[in-house]
């Protein structure tokens, strides 16, 4: 198809504003899916996505729509809404010329609406504003349109009012996309340049590459080269998603589709790479993507040490479809061999853990999440550390710098006090306050990243009765009075349980951590002391009582010394057991340390 009859767009919105439902209606209106095959959130085909009701992976689909007697090819990329999957949104927008900004007509502009809109504006995309859920009794489209103009500076005077659930106004959205969003500017006769924007692993067909043709044309049987990795493959199958894979044998400039070539090695494909013809003139590479900025780090260890290689293979497979995940091998005295993984946020970490357990049948122990710190060594050298265990002795470094995030919080006016209280408890620094409308306000704070992942989001949700939404981005590293909080179980330092905290919070965090540990670690045959320490000073202690067998049960009457002898013998045994016995720390205990305040 000629590029002038093609439109590529993404749907961007906050969580639960109806992206996947609108995608369903577009598939229905264009007749891409038969009525009997239709189901809610059709593009969310991952088990976890359907279970949680959220989009985790961006999905591409091609539909056809007629306007004024002309047939147009519309390529839609459905994107996630959660802040942790911002990288997926950014990648998708690079394969598009426009975006549909979807705003809930009752909830209004939320934190993630603002963040995703700015991503689209920075990518110079044409934005089509759509107000969804106008069928709700408390919908207020006029107020929300004003809110969009005030907070985003986007003209919403002609915003389309639709209901993605009932299908009202959806054909008008397709017409508006054709009118407003520019056609791809690529040259079908030029040198082939295609952007890899995603990839998935299929057990039977190898790696399926998702690509957007920017210039030129690609046909089956042609030999291609990946400019980044230098690998050469033959195009065995080419096609588009409509929404199932449909073979087309050819992809031209402006089109979005898939490419199969029996690629078995996971390292052969890199998301963001450029594909071109082999043994022809080499074009300039496409800009690709900036590397993902990892916010949170956690270690994964297999419960059974023999599963280490299986865990490595599982992580390599996941990295292919989730390019924002990063991992490297680590060892721990307590837990053996494992991997330190970098994530974009806590939800991202949770999703990866569940995918490893479900899709790859692994039993894992996960350590408490931490953030990246920078330390200035005595000689002035700057180093990055991803876990408290990597922190050298205090005499080796001069100061610790912690990451600071700029947090944008959207709340109804009546919850400003609650948010300010929560922010003060988490060492936040107030920046500014903007009134988006008469009922809603946007607050900005600089908050240490470690405080953000500790329990800030949970407190925000409960303090604002679920109405508060937030978005954050990393701003800088700042020095503060930080110390390493160590946890000792039975006199042994457990690296996986240690954390870096502010000196003023060390006492309360230490007491809280060991109280929770005491509940989670089962009783053993010997007494277990659990201690929290800063440097060489023990700041808190709890003791798990030993399980005791009543050794004097058979002694009745007679001399008391017999009972004493048996009790002394038992005491000696317990002492010996404590010296050589290992304490089993369950997986729940590692996560309990992160559990925030009681």
**202-212: burial string, b at 16+ Cβ within 10 Å, e else:** eeeebbbbbbb
Q: Mean pLDDT, to the nearest integer, of 206-233? A: 85
Which residues 6+ apart lie within 8 Å of 22 measured at CB? Answer: 11, 100, 102, 130, 132, 162, 164, 170, 173
Whether CATH 3.40.50.300 fits 3-180: yes
Of residues 84 and 409, the one with the higher pLDDT is 409
90 pLDDT more than 80: no
Give the model's pLDDT for residue 173. Answer: 87
Residues 56 and 85: beta-carbon distance below 8 Å: yes
If DSSP codes are grouped into helix, strand and coil, which group holds residue 482?
strand
**132 annotated to bind ligand:** yes
Give the model's pLDDT for residue 81. Answer: 58
Give the model's pLDDT for residue 192. Answer: 87
Q: Mean pLDDT, to the nearest integer, of 211-232? A: 85
Chain segment 118-173, per-residue pLDDT in tens: 888 888 888 888 888 888 888 888 888 888 888 788 888 888 888 888 888 888 88
* 438/420 Cα distance (integer angstroms): 19
**135 annotated to bind ligand:** yes
Which residues 6+ apart lie within 8 Å of 275 measured at CB? Answer: 192, 193, 194, 195, 196, 209, 211, 218, 224, 225, 226, 227, 259
247 pLDDT more than 80: yes
Residues recorded for the chain: 598
**pLDDT tier for residue 576 given thresholds of 50, 70 and 90:** low
What integer best gives the mean pLDDT of the chain?
A: 80
CA-based nearest residue to 370, from 301, 299, 297, 454: 297
**DSSP conformation class of 370:** B
Between 35-44, 303-312, 333-342, 481-490, the lowest mean confidence (pLDDT) is in 35-44
First vs last Cα of the chain: how many Å apart?
Answer: 61
**18 annotated to bind ligand:** yes
* 555/503 Cα distance (integer angstroms): 54
Superfamily of domain 483-592: Elongation factor 4, C-terminal domain (3.30.70.2570)
Residues 497 and 487: beta-carbon distance below 8 Å: yes
User: How many whole angstroms from its chain centre is CA 406?
Assistant: 18
588 pLDDT more than 70: no
Give the model's pLDDT for residue 484. Answer: 86
**pLDDT tier for residue 575 given thresholds of 50, 70 and 90:** low
Interstrand relation of 256-260 and 59-67 (parallel, antiparallel or unpaired): unpaired
- Count H helices, E strands: the chain? 14, 31
**21 annotated to bind ligand:** yes
* 10/27 Cα distance (integer angstroms): 14
**pLDDT tier for residue 582 given thresholds of 50, 70 and 90:** low
44 pLDDT more than 50: no
Residues 345 and 84: beta-carbon distance below 8 Å: yes
Chain segment 307-332, per-residue pLDDT in tens: 888 888 888 888 877 777 888 888 87
Q: Mean pLDDT, to the nearest integer, of 566-591? A: 66
Give the model's pLDDT for residue 597. Answer: 47
If DSSP codes are grouped into helix, strand and coil, which group holds residue 395?
coil
**80-96: burial string, b at 16+ Cβ within 10 Å, e else:** bbbbbbbbbbbbbbbbb
**pLDDT tier for residue 35 given thresholds of 50, 70 and 90:** low
* 214/234 Cα distance (integer angstroms): 19
Which residues 6+ apart lie within 8 Å of 591 measured at CB? Answer: 366, 368
Of residues 321 and 440, the one with the higher pLDDT is 440
Whether 3-180 and 193-277 share one fold: the answer is: no
Give the model's pLDDT for residue 46. Answer: 52
**pLDDT tier for residue 37 given thresholds of 50, 70 and 90:** low
The fold for domain 193-277 equals Elongation Factor Tu (Ef-tu); domain 3 (2.40.30)
The fold for domain 296-369 equals Alpha-Beta Plaits (3.30.70)
Residue 265 phi, psi (nearest 5): -80, 125
Beta-carbon-side half-sphere exposure of residue 494 (alpha carbons within 13 Å):
26
Residues 58 and 77: beta-carbon distance below 8 Å: yes
Q: Mean pLDDT, to the nearest integer, of 63-83? A: 78
What would be the CATH architecture of the domain defined by 374-480?
Answer: 2-Layer Sandwich (3.30)
Give the model's pLDDT for residue 598. Answer: 43
If DSSP codes are grouped into helix, strand and coil, which group holds residue 267?
helix
Residues 429 and 476: beta-carbon distance below 8 Å: no
Domain ranges of the chain: 3-180, 193-277, 296-369, 374-480, 483-592
**pLDDT tier for residue 518 given thresholds of 50, 70 and 90:** confident
């Amino acid at each position: 198809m000629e590029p002038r009859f093609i439109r590529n767009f993404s749907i961007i919105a906050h969580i639960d504003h109806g992206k996947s439902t609108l995608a369903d209606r577009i598939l229905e209106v264009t007749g891409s899916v038969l009525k009997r095959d239709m189901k809610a959130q059709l593009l969310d085909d991952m088990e976890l996505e359907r279970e949680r009701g959220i989009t985790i992976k961006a999905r591409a689909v091609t539909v056809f729509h007629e306007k004024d007697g002309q047939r147009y090819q519309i390529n839609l990329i459905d994107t996630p809404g959660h802040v942790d999957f911002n990288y997926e949104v950014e990648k998708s927008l690079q394969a598009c010329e426009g975006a549909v900004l979807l705003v809930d007509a009752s909830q209004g502009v939320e934190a993630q609406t603002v963040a995703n809109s700015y991503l689209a504006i920075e990518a110079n995309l044409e934005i089509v504003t759509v107000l969804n859920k106008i069928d709700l009794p408390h919908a207020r489209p006029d107020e929300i349109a004003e809110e969009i103009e005030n907070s985003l500076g986007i003209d919403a005077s002609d915003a389309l009012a639709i209901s993605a659930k009932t299908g009202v106004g959806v054909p008008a959205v397709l017409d508006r996309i054709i009118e407003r969003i520019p056609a791809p500017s690529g040259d079908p006769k030029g040198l082939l340049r295609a952007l890899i924007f995603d990839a998935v692993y299929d057990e039977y067909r190898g790696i399926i590459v998702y690509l957007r043709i920017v210039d030129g044309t690609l046909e089956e049987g042609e030999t291609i080269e990946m400019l980044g990795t230098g690998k050469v493959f033959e195009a065995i199958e080419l096609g588009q998603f409509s929404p199932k894979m449909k073979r087309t044998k050819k992809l031209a400039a402006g089109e979005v589709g898939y490419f199969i070539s029996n690629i078995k090695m996971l390292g052969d494909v890199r998301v963001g790479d450029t594909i071109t013809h082999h043994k022809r003139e080499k074009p300039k590479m496409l800009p690709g993507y900036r590397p993902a900025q990892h916010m949170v780090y956690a270690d994964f260890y297999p419960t059974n040490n023999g599963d280490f290689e299986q865990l490595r293979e599982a992580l390599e497979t996941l990295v292919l479809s989730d390019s924002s995940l990063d991992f490297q091998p680590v060892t721990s005295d307590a837990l053996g061999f494992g991997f330190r993984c970098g994530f974009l946020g806590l939800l991202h970490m949770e999703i990866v853990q569940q995918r490893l357990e479900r899709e790859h049948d692994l039993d894992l122990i996960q350590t408490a999440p931490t953030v990246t710190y920078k330390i200035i060594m005595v000689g002035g050298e700057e180093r990055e550390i991803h876990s408290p265990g990597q922190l050298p002795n205090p005499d080796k470094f001069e100061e610790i710098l912690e990451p600071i995030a700029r947090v944008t919080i959207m709340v109804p006016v009546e919850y400003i006090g609650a948010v300010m209280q929560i922010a003060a408890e988490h060492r936040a620094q107030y920046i500014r306050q903007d009134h988006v409308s008469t009922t809603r306000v946007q607050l900005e704070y600089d908050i240490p990243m470690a405080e953000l992942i500790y329990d800030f989001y949970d407190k925000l949700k409960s303090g604002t009765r679920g109405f508060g939404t937030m978005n954050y981005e990393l701003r800088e590293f700042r020095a503060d009075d930080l110390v390493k909080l160590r946890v000792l179980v039975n006199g042994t330092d457990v690296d996986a349980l240690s954390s870096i905290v502010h000196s003023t919070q060390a006492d309360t965090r230490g007491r809280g951590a060991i109280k929770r540990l005491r509940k989670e670690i089962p009783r053993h045959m010997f007494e277990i002391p659990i201690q929290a320490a800063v440097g060489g000073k023990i700041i808190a202690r709890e003791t798990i009582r030993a399980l005791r067998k009543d050794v004097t049960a058979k002694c009745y009457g007679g001399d008391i010394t017999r009972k004493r002898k048996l009790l002394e013998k038992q005491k000696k045994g317990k002492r010996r057991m404590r010296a050589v016995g290992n304490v089993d720390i369950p997986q729940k205990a590692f996560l309990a340390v992160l559990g925030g305040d009681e």
